[in-house]
Amino acid sequence: MTGDPLYRRRLSLNHARIPSSELLGPVDYNHSALFNPNYIANWRREPGIHVHWSIDGLLNLFVNAKGGLALMLIPALVLTYRCTLAPGVIKAIAVLYGISLLYICVVIYALALDPKARMMFVPIAGLSLALALLLVSLIDTKHRLVAGVSAGAAIGVGFFILFIHQRVFPIEKPAAAWIAAAPGQVEIDENTRRHLALVPDAQQLPPLAGKRPMFLVKADVRCEVWAVRSRLDDDVMLIHRQVMSRASMFDDRWSGELCLFRLARPITRQRLVDGVAEADWYKSDALRRAKPGLAIR
């Protein structure tokens, strides 16, 4: 249809030229995304460990609970019980682990993709298979307690991540009700609109311009914290909130909320848009350290 047999490839590579809050450095319009250190070094790290750009992506994946425990647990268990495991089992685990690690390195260093756990489903599946093989072998060699604790830890971490994950479903009905109760008075930012893709009324709302008295925004923290981070806390009042994550019972920084704010005074479109963008920058502790001007007042 496009007349270009490599169109799919070009489309994938050009995706890295779209500005993103996940990319802390500037978009590189002059070079390919492949093997590009401007991307490898500047993806926002999750959970946020910073040692050196060349190893940060891989290092954070090792300790990222969203990717499970297998990447870190497998070498620890193999090194500890290598004398009791059958050579064939160790070889099979090594092959699965090696292929998974190679896949991860290709994604991080060759394709220069954001090394979040969601980009690593294939190697995580391979690592999970290797961990299952290892745990069964530990049970066969009478290390049932270690195998049970390891399996319980891996499963428990997975359920915990699911438990605290931000969910869109709880905000859809409240958003529709808030919009219906204030016809023609609500604006919305683009990120929030995408989260409310299944709410028809939200898709009809105008973009942020400061021309209407209220606006909707999806925050990764409590609404009051978002207002402070955006530097709009003196200009807005919180009208409604809807929690998106059960993580709020543990730590506000892990939470997420849909917020309906009312403007306390007239505000320019640029100030409103800049405020939303500035709140988004706060996702990175490293960026806040690099830009002291973004510190919370």
Look at residue 288 in the predicted model and tell me its pLDDT.
44
Look at residue 206 in the predicted model and tell me its pLDDT.
97
| Residue showing tokens 């991307």 | 39
Beta pairing partners, 259:
217, 241
DSSP letter at 19 equals: -
- 141-161 tens-digit pLDDT: 999 999 999 999 999 999 999
Look at residue 252 in the predicted model and tell me its pLDDT.
65
Assess contact for 137 and 89: CB atoms under 8 A: yes
295: pLDDT confidence band, cut at 50, 70 and 90?
very low
86: pLDDT confidence band, cut at 50, 70 and 90?
very high
Q: Is the pLDDT at 283 greater than 70, yes or no?
A: no
296: pLDDT confidence band, cut at 50, 70 and 90?
very low
Lowest mean pLDDT among 69-78, 118-127, 147-156, 252-261: 252-261
Interacting residues of 124 by C-beta distance below 8 A, sequence separation 6+: 67, 68, 70, 100, 117
Residues for the chain: how many in total? 297
Alpha carbon distance 297, 285 (integer Å): 16
**214-219/236-243 β-pairing:** unpaired
Residue 7: both structure tokens together: 């169109």
CA distances from 226 to 27, 145, 238 (A): 25, 45, 11
Average model confidence (pLDDT) across the chain = 90
Burial label for 64, CB within 10 Å (0-12, 13-18, 19+), is buried
Omega of the bond prior to 47 within 30 degrees of 0, cis? Answer: yes
Look at residue 21 in the predicted model and tell me its pLDDT.
76
Beta pairing partners, 9:
none
Look at residue 164 in the predicted model and tell me its pLDDT.
87
179-194: average pLDDT = 96
Look at residue 281 in the predicted model and tell me its pLDDT.
67
Assess contact for 57 and 45: CB atoms under 8 A: yes
Q: Is the pLDDT at 35 greater than 70, yes or no?
A: yes
285-291: average pLDDT = 42
Look at residue 286 in the predicted model and tell me its pLDDT.
39
Q: What b-and-e string marks burial along 177-191, b requiring 16 or more CB atoms within 10 Å of the CB?
A: ebbeeeeeebbbbee
Q: Is the pLDDT at 15 greater than 50, yes or no?
A: yes
16-33: average pLDDT = 86
- 219-275 tens-digit pLDDT: 988 899 899 999 999 999 999 999 998 887 777 666 789 999 999 999 999 999 999
- For residues 232 and 13, the model is more confident at 232
Q: Is the pLDDT at 71 greater than 50, yes or no?
A: yes
Look at residue 282 in the predicted model and tell me its pLDDT.
62
294: pLDDT confidence band, cut at 50, 70 and 90?
very low
Alpha carbon distance 258, 242 (integer Å): 5
Residue 168: both structure tokens together: 């869109």
- For residues 196 and 295, the model is more confident at 196
